[in-house]
Amino acid sequence: MERLSRAEVAKVARLARIALDDVELERFTDQLAQVLEHARDLEALDLAGVAPTAHPHGLINVVRDDEVRASLDRAEVLAQAPDVVEDRFAVPRIIGEAP
Amino acid sequence: MSLPEGWEMVVGLEVHTELRTATKLFCGCANAFGAEPNTQTCPVCLGLPGSLPVLNRRAVELAMAIGLALHATVSPSTFHRKNYFYPDMPKDFQISQYDRPINAGGHLDLPDGSRVGIERAHLEEDTGKSTHLGGTGRIHGAERSLVDYNRAGVPLVEIVSAPDLRSSAQARAYAAELRGILMATGASDGRMEEGSMRIDANVSVHRVGEPFATRCELKNLNSLRSLQRAIDYEADRQYALVASGGVVRQETRHWDEDRGVTSTMRVKEEADDYRYFQEPDLVELDPAPAWVEAVRAGLGPMPAERRARLAALLGTPSPAQFDAVETVVDLGVDDHVDAAIAAGVEPDRAIARAANELAGDPHERAGLTPGAFAATLRLEQSGDLSATQAKTVLATLALSGGDPAAVARELGFERMASGELESLVDRLIAEHPEEWGRYREGDDKLAQFFTGQVMRATRGQADGKAVVEVLRARRG
Amino acid sequence: MNALEVAASVRAGATTAVEVVAECLERVATRNAELNVFIHLDAEGALASAARVDERVAAGASLPLAGVPVALKDNLCVRGQPTTAGSRILAGWRPPYDATVVGRLAGAGAVALGKANMDEFAMGSSTETSAYGPTRNPLDPTRVPGGSSGGSAAAVAAGMVPVALGSDTGGSIRQPAALCGLVGVKPTYGLVSRYGLIAFASSLDQIGPFAHTVAEAALVLEVIAGHDPLDTTSLPEPAPELSSHLDDGVAGRRVGLVRELVEGADPEVLDAVRRAAETLTRAGATVEEVSIPEIKLGLSAYYLIAPAEASSNLARYDGVRYGLRVDGPDVEAMNVATRTVGFGDEVKRRIMLGTYALSAGYYDAYYGQALKVRTRMIEAFARAYARVDTLLGATAPSVAFALGAKTQDPLAMYLSDVFTIPTNLAGEAAVSVPFGAGEGGLPIGVQLLGPARSEARLLAAARVLEAEGGR
Ligand SMILES: [Mg+2]
Ligand SMILES: [Zn+2]
């Protein structure tokens, strides 16, 4: 892999909804590049045929019964919200519909 | 409008259906439509810090039922996170299935005999719902939005067809048949108007024999009618664009039902990098064969089979009779028909009455049980009730229930003795000599006139067929 | 103050929970300003809970942790109490529900005094990334207590509480335990419910205890462990019996001293591990040197997997439903402003690293590759456990380091977790136990590792070391 570029870090920051000024972009690029540099030891490994492990233990089929449990008290939920209108969570205008 | 000779459209549908479970996919909040905003929420479906999802067994079983009904293979599956920011999604990722869906590779046969491939039918969670303040109430131009998370976490199955559909009518037929199958499995109530079944359509057009072209995805298709209209509009739009030397851009387009047009919603962009990865808070789903078979054993007959059975009861059905059969199956009132036939009602009458009198919201005809339906038709067949009276009794039963014979009595529907009917007809003949003359000369339309007069005089209690018989007898 | 003694004394009526809690609150009052251990103290609530414990004891309830004051890492949800995970983005948030472990502690008669400081979202090894300022090591306030559960460790080390809960994603219980001279347990993944633990990296996080002694840690773990239907990844079995096995000893056990778990450690740390091996040998174990080369890949795999999961887990902090909101002209601008102001640099670094590792075109090379390394790690440990029962190594490469020593160099900070990370990747159990002292008389921790569900055996071995090298 090429060394991590500023453009890549800027793109990742946009995806993660974090704003970086030029100084931060420079610094984060350097620091992340260092960590990725360290991760090069993985790149070299031949792991073809090795199954990935997403979970340490092989539990399967953990399900619950379809039984209703009490929901939270709405007042308690909305008390934590930054802005509420008509018992709903209010946000500034949304640009663009969900994908 | 249709595409010119030598061109065809390619359509694939993605259908999201909400599952009829008691609770949400990953928490015990009620899965019910129409509650007060944000009253059906908990730490899990609000995505509160520290909360964890636990999978609903019933949702898994309904998803398997859908897969089995679509001849798909139920396979070991995993859940993935689809990451993107959107305020109606509490965790800012959707738990869905990705490279290992619960159902893959099936098909659906349409009534016209064509077969549509099913690529996958996977489980995922629904989002909350936002409403938009200011502007037109739509998202564009709104000043701010309000979010209700009652729907967040409701179980969905997304059914992805192969791009096998070649006309808007076929797409509509597919959606209608799929809806019938979803209702037959008990997985869905099929209510498109409440959003419990939502359709996106991928549409492209190309010259026959050439490879598939770039497609556009259509959203906001809230009825079978809008599905068909939107596809036709979009195919025409793409053809016109290409014919004038333009290029179709891959994008998501919004169907505007009022204006009858599609318009650009969003083009493919950087934000579409969903960074799917396996959901670490859920484990693999690997149903044992016995579990799958138990679900299969619980499946009732699907619409195609039910249509064939009812049609067979009619011998060689006329087109109108076959329409009635289709309606009975669409309405899911096979039980009413069966009860009536078991009570001795002729299949033709049972099917026709069920198709005509049982339409509408099942909740709004709760009193009209199969038994009550059968008893009413039985009274009609024996002549105790006229056809008009029978319909009135059915309507009354639907609203308030009760015993059909008692309801008929309360409505004042006494059986009219045949002697009474004959003397009434004779009186009317005497009162309308001109009409009677024309009838005698062979103008059969006048039978309607006399029937109407009889009905008026008897407040609908007479049997129209009996009136015509008396008229014929008098004509000689 | 020992948790077992406190509980026995409260149960016997020799003292009351209220008295015990009041005494602890005094100790907090004396040192908290200097050490910055508790970032939220609930004195009134604690005294009220203690009074209820006294009532239950009077009514005849036999409570294993009767009146035992505890500190909770601030990533554990407590209904109605500020819970911030050390982050500005959750300032003022009061969860409407309790974490499973919080309920279990209360059920056993323990009394939570408040929330202990931590690295922001548990991302750090020194408790310096907290939005609420660094915690200082009670044994030497110029030094860090370790992290990310540094507040919990410091609370116990400073005598403010006898026991505390932390969480361990890559060493965040064991490393601060080592640096503060305490016993710290990273249980088998799934042994303790994560419900109500604010997630850092879901497939690695585990809650565990801090205590001065092995017996206290064992008792707390018994109380909090066991299946929880609210956590799908929780093991489907009851809590293991630990206290009854503490004196099992190590006679006949085969212990592997792992070369890769001491490589690069300071000489005094290496020396402590060697002496620990001799102690175990004298107690009847056979100790051999083993090599597990895959351990060296752990750091790289961890710093791809943990940030990847974190990038997704932390997406929900968007200013919509709870916590901080910094307004903007539209919802996306509001999300960006909120996250930019609300997250500290270390959290931003990891979110970006994880986003990168998962993004189109890089998934296979980074995240996908790391998951395969994880498989290799698990297989390597399994091979080792086919030969030996227990593995031995260092917990941290050095004694507690000075505040600020590594804050400018993320990679150097990450390297301080090099010995603890492999256990998390494998989902197995490990214990850090104090054994001797190094520079400036500061404590050194040695680490005992075992396969899944080996806690009883590890604690018995830790007890042997404690008897020799403890205070
Ligand atoms: Mg979907
Ligand atoms: Zn819920």
C85 within some domain = yes
Instruction: Confirm whether C21 is domain-assigned.
Output: yes
Is C148 among the residues known to form the active site?
yes
Active site (annotated) includes residue C172: yes
Facing C351 at nearest CB: one of A18, A56, A89: A18
- Is residue C249 one of the residues assigned to a domain? no
Q: Residue C181's pLDDT band (boundaries 50, 70, 90)?
A: very high
Do C333 and C285 share a domain, yes or no?
A: no
Contact C203 A4 (CB under 8 A): no
Q: Residue C245: inside a domain, yes or no? A: no
What chain C residue is nearest to A93 in terms of C-alpha separation?
A: C330
Residues C198, C269, single domain; the answer is no
Q: Among residues C49, C152, C167, C172, which one is catalytic?
A: C172
In a domain, C248, yes or no: no
Separation of B89 CA from ligand 2 center, angstroms?
Answer: 13
pLDDT (mean) for A25-42: 92
pLDDT tens string C334-393: 999 999 999 999 999 999 999 999 998 899 889 999 999 999 999 999 999 999 999 999
Residue C211 sits in the same domain as residue C133: yes
Do both C121 and C215 map to the same domain?
Answer: yes
Tell me the CA end-to-end span of chain B in Å, nearest whole number.
54
Mean pLDDT lowest for which of B72-86, B420-434, C110-124?
B420-434
Cβ–Cβ contact C333 with B under 8 A? no
Q: Residue C274: helix, strand or coil by DSSP? A: helix
CATH number, domain containing residue C56: 3.90.1300.10
pLDDT one-digit tens code per residue, C244-274: 999 999 999 999 999 999 999 999 999 999 9
- Active-site residue identified among C9, C49, C73, C193: C73
Residue C183 maps to a domain:
yes
Question: How would you classify residue B137: left for phi > 0, otherwise alpha for psi between -120 and 50, otherwise beta?
Answer: left
Residues facing B221 on adjacent strands: B199
B43–C358: do the CB atoms touch at under 8 Å? Answer: no
Q: Supply the pTM of this predicted model.
A: 0.92
Q: Do B30 and A71 touch (CB under 8 A)?
A: yes
Q: For the purposes of burial, counting CB atoms within 10 Å of the CB of C394, is it exposed (0-12), middle (13-18) or buried (19 or more)?
A: buried
Clarify whether residues C324 and C381 are in a common domain: no
Instruction: State the Cα–Cα distance between residues C448 and A16, nearest whole angstrom.
Output: 38
Inter-chain contact C322–A81, Cβ cutoff 8 Å?
A: yes
In a shared domain, residues C167 and C315: no
Please give the residue of chain A at the shortest CA–CA distance from C327.
A92
Q: Do C11 and C120 belong to one domain?
A: yes
| C281 domain residue, yes or no | yes
Q: Is residue C371 part of a domain?
A: no
C358 and C234 housed in the same domain: no
SS3 C449: strand
**What is the 8-class DSSP label of residue C243?**
G
Give tens-digit pLDDT for B159-176.
999 999 999 999 999 999
Distance B137 CA to ligand 1 centre (A): 25
Strands (E), C212-358: 254-258, 286-290
Distance, CA B146 to ligand 2 centroid (Å)?
A: 19
Average pLDDT over residues B254-260: 92
C290 and C304 fall within a common domain: no
Q: Please indicate, yes or no, whether residues C94 and C230 belong to a single structural domain of this protein.
A: yes
Residues C355 and C406 in one domain: no
For residues C436 and C465, the answer to whether their CB atoms sit within 8 Å is: no
List C9, C126, C148, C167, catalytic entry: C148
Best A55, A71, A85, A91 residue to mutate vs chain B (most B CBs within 10 Å): A71
Domain assignment of residue C384, given as a range? 254-294+376-468
Tally the residues of chain C: 471
- Asked if the model's pLDDT at residue C471 lies above 50, the reply is no
What does the CA dihedral C369, C371, C372, C375 come to, rounded to 10 degrees? 160
Confidence check: pLDDT of B418 > 80? no
Q: What ipTM did this prediction achieve?
A: 0.97
Structural domains of chain C, count:
3
Indicate whether C265 and C342 sit together in one domain: no
Instruction: Report the separation in Å between the CA atom of A49 and the middle of ligand 1, taken as the mean of its atom positions.
Output: 30
Contact criterion met (CB < 8 Å) for A89 and B143: no
- Residue B88: closest C-alpha in chain C: C320
Nearest bound ligand to CA B90? Answer: 2
